[in-house]
Amino acid sequence: MTSKVVTVGEIVVEIMAVRPGNGFREAIDLVGPFPSGAPAIFIDQLARQKHPCAMVSCVGDDDFGWLNIERLRGDGVDVSAIRVHEDAVTGSAFVRYRDNGDRDFVFNIRHSANGHIGLTSEARAVIAEAGHLHVMGSSLVSSAIIEAVLYALDEIKARGGTVSFDPNIRKEMLGFPELREALDRVLAATDLFLPSGAELLLFSAEQDVEKALGDLLGRGLKAIVLKQGSEGARYVAADEDITVAAFKVDEVDPTGAGDCFGATFLAGWLAGLNAADNLRRANAAGALAVTRKGPMEGASTVDQLDAFLADTEQAA
Amino acid sequence: MTSKVVTVGEIVVEIMAVRPGNGFREAIDLVGPFPSGAPAIFIDQLARQKHPCAMVSCVGDDDFGWLNIERLRGDGVDVSAIRVHEDAVTGSAFVRYRDNGDRDFVFNIRHSANGHIGLTSEARAVIAEAGHLHVMGSSLVSSAIIEAVLYALDEIKARGGTVSFDPNIRKEMLGFPELREALDRVLAATDLFLPSGAELLLFSAEQDVEKALGDLLGRGLKAIVLKQGSEGARYVAADEDITVAAFKVDEVDPTGAGDCFGATFLAGWLAGLNAADNLRRANAAGALAVTRKGPMEGASTVDQLDAFLADTEQAA
């Protein structure tokens, strides 16, 4: 069985405000375009772990689209199912940090090329080759994307493959009934669940973390990795419960850190790495990610992770 | 008869590359968002001439849309027919100058809020109050916009109003048959024609400038103003043919200069200013426009134009 990983979701460019402040109602210094989109960052980090992987997405035939395709292809992602749509514009996200760490956004996603993501023949081809599906919950914003994800889910599970699931959602998104239903179907098929902080509680009737973990493992999930940002990460399975502290680094830009963490953990999980070492490695990926400006700029290779881990061991 | 001017067309934000180069395939320093869109720049400059005016357009309910509405409203434009669309994103244009003066763009216009411009009840209301229609040919990119422009044309002409027309198009755009047909209908109703350089020859079977001017005046246009950039401007009517040299200024950003020129000339024309003084005043507006970075940033008030003209007279 191949362990090739496929994911379905949005590709965008990110344009960042250079200085913090409120919104975009006057001309300010900006920097970009940076390749971005949560599933794109995830799959790029996975490719940098030398893990075979593919992405199903759609960009416009413009510099922003080609910038993303070239980055992903260069890092080793199979981009054959990233459609280049002639009559659409690549998605974009303007991001400005406020002084308190909150962010203001101006998004162009739903009416961008991402609105044309769907089950193309190229998508079916990469799904046919895949042994694992990674689902980014925040990507399930259209019926066509949900259709493609659930198709991939059924195909890959039917062949004995596995599924990982990062909700990456805010509570307000759950008002869209089709999304809620799709997330429940994904969770029921999930092997490796990767929620951040309070997301765990969106998926259980239990409103206590320990009880929710027990509830979810009782439903058949193999493992849960709780991403807790600067407080580190916790791996919970039927017979194991390990927390590994985060590395202390100077945070420049947190965007993308959770995606780099998750992809690194998934690569280790698929390779059979033990949970303690895998959490440490994934924490290292998260730490490296926050030290670089730009959502995908902090993605790290195997060698970069090895070097970071060796340095921190020496320092300890 | 009121002389209120109405125009119909796109509103966008412009994001500019700080340094020249080719395209947008890597992260670079940018500055923006600046309010923009050729008809928006035109109507803003007209408002700064204290001339009553309104715009029919559409933006998204986002910072980019409100930035434009606030600028136009602040300068005196009637913005009641600028629709704020809940489910659309304000149009955008990324612009980078090349070393040779050419420009690279990444546009999001057709699938932006501008795709929802049409003949709303608010549009009918401002058209009902208008005595003059300004048509920006480059804005006629959808059937709904063409419908609104031709409706305004018929209404305003039927009341004895006037029409000005700036083609602002490239030859390649004429491949869209509906556009060609609409431009011909607009030209047939035009009183004041404002082509730039070679655009004149797109509207006459004559391929010599003097013959084309004669052909067009013979068809009933009251006056033609040929915009010739740094070579100045020429006014041609049945009984008059005047060329006024451009002012020499240090060019920072030429975007919007033709729109500021045209709006200033239109304000003078509607007020009955003589052609020589009006060309000089419009040239001053064009000169001031190119000295400022940002497409609408170089729009000038009556006082700014008076001061510029007084300074240049003193220097002469």
Q: Which two structure tokens, joined as six digits, stand for A156?
A: 């890959």
In this structure, which amino acid lies at residue B199? E
What pLDDT score was predicted for residue B175? 77
pLDDT digits (tens, 9 = 90+) for B73-84: 999 999 999 999
Of B140, B141, B170, B169, the residue nearest B152 (C-alpha): B140
Model-wide pTM > 0.90 = yes
The structural domains of chain B, with segments of one domain joined by +, span 5-311
Q: Are strands A233-237 and A223-227 parallel, antiparallel or unpaired?
A: antiparallel
Which chain B residues have a beta carbon less than 8 Å from that of A71? none
> Which strand (E) or helix (H) includes residue A251?
none
Check residue B39 and give left, alpha or beta (phi > 0: left; psi -120 to 50: alpha).
alpha
What pLDDT score was predicted for residue A34? 98
CB contact under 8 A, A106 and B34: no
What pLDDT score was predicted for residue A2? 66
What pLDDT score was predicted for residue B121? 98
CA B68, B74, B75, B78 dihedral sign is positive
pLDDT digits (tens, 9 = 90+) for A179-230: 999 999 999 999 999 999 889 999 999 999 999 999 999 999 999 999 988 8
Q: Give the Cβ contact number of residue A315 at 10 Å.
A: 6
> How far apart are alpha carbons A58 and A69 in whole angstroms?
10
In this structure, which amino acid lies at residue A46? L
Radius of gyration of chain A (CA): 18
Banded pLDDT at B149 (limits 50, 70, 90): very high
- CB A305 within 8 Å of CB A283: no
For residue A1, pLDDT beyond 60 = no
CA A266, A267, A270, A274 dihedral sign is negative
What pLDDT score was predicted for residue B2? 66
Which chain A residues have a beta carbon less than 8 Å from that of B36? none
Report the length, in residues, of chain A. Answer: 316
What pLDDT score was predicted for residue A81? 98
CB contact under 8 A, A62 and B106: yes
In this structure, which amino acid lies at residue A166? D
Q: Report, at the CATH architecture level, how domain B5-311 is classified.
A: 3-Layer(aba) Sandwich (3.40)
**Percentage of residues of chain B with pLDDT beyond 90:** 88
Mutation target vs A (from B16, B25, B105; most A CBs, 10 A cutoff): B25
What pLDDT score was predicted for residue A313? 80
Q: Which two structure tokens, joined as six digits, stand for A141?
A: 């914003």
Shortest CB distance from A67 goes to which of B25, B33, B111?
B25
Q: What angle in degrees, to the nearest 10, is found between the helix axes of A257-271 and A38-48?
A: 40
- Given 3.60.21.10, 3.30.420.40, 3.40.50.720, 3.40.1190.20, which CATH number is that of A38-56+119-315? 3.40.1190.20
CB contact under 8 A, A67 and B28: no
What pLDDT score was predicted for residue B23? 95
Shortest CB distance from A33 goes to which of B24, B67, B294?
B24
Which chain A residues have a beta carbon less than 8 Å from that of B32? 27-28, 30
Q: Which DSSP letter does residue B12 get?
A: E
Q: Between the CA of residue A119 and those of A124, A142, B8, what are the distances in Å?
A: 6, 12, 39
> How far apart are alpha carbons B146 and A268 in whole angstroms?
58
What pLDDT score was predicted for residue A316? 62
Q: Using DSSP, state whether A41 is helix, strand or coil.
A: helix
> How far apart are alpha carbons A149 and A127 in whole angstroms?
10
Average pLDDT over residues A53-81: 98
Mutation target vs A (from B30, B34, B109; most A CBs, 10 A cutoff): B30
Which chain B residues have a beta carbon less than 8 Å from that of A89? 106-108, 111
> How far apart are alpha carbons B204 and B221 in whole angstroms?
13
Three-state SS sequence of B133-164: EEEEHHHCCCHHHHHHHHHHHHHHHHCCCEEE
What pLDDT score was predicted for residue A171? 76
The average confidence (pLDDT) of chain B is 95
The average confidence (pLDDT) of chain A is 95
Q: Which DSSP letter does residue A149 get?
A: H
- CB B276 within 8 Å of CB B240: no
pLDDT digits (tens, 9 = 90+) for B244-270: 999 999 989 889 999 999 999 999 999
CA A305, A306, A308, A309 dihedral sign is positive
Mutation target vs A (from B18, B26, B292, B296; most A CBs, 10 A cutoff): B26
Average pLDDT over residues B87-92: 97
Q: Give the Cβ contact number of residue B171 at 10 Å.
A: 10
Q: Are strands A132-136 and A53-60 parallel, antiparallel or unpaired?
A: unpaired
Q: Which DSSP letter does residue A256 get?
A: T
Shortest CB distance from A33 goes to which of B27, B31, B34?
B27
What pLDDT score was predicted for residue A172? 74
Quickly list DSSP for B221-252: -SEEEEE-GGG-EEEEETTEEEEEPPPP---S
- CB A85 within 8 Å of CB A59: yes
Report the length, in residues, of chain B. Answer: 316
> How far apart are alpha carbons B197 and B216 in whole angstroms?
15
Q: Which two structure tokens, joined as six digits, stand for A1?
A: 């069985």
> How far apart are alpha carbons B141 and A150 in whole angstroms?
38
**Percentage of residues of chain A with pLDDT beyond 90:** 88
CB contact under 8 A, A63 and B104: yes
> How far apart are alpha carbons A232 and A286 in whole angstroms?
10
Residue of chain B nearest A110, judged by CA positions: B88
Radius of gyration of chain B (CA): 18
What pLDDT score was predicted for residue B1? 52
pLDDT digits (tens, 9 = 90+) for A91-102: 999 999 999 988
pLDDT digits (tens, 9 = 90+) for A222-245: 999 999 888 889 999 999 999 999
- CB A197 within 8 Å of CB A225: no
Q: Between the CA of residue A278 and those of A82, A193, B178, B183, what are the distances in Å?
A: 30, 15, 61, 65
Q: Which DSSP letter does residue A196 get?
A: B
> How far apart are alpha carbons A271 and A253 in whole angstroms?
29
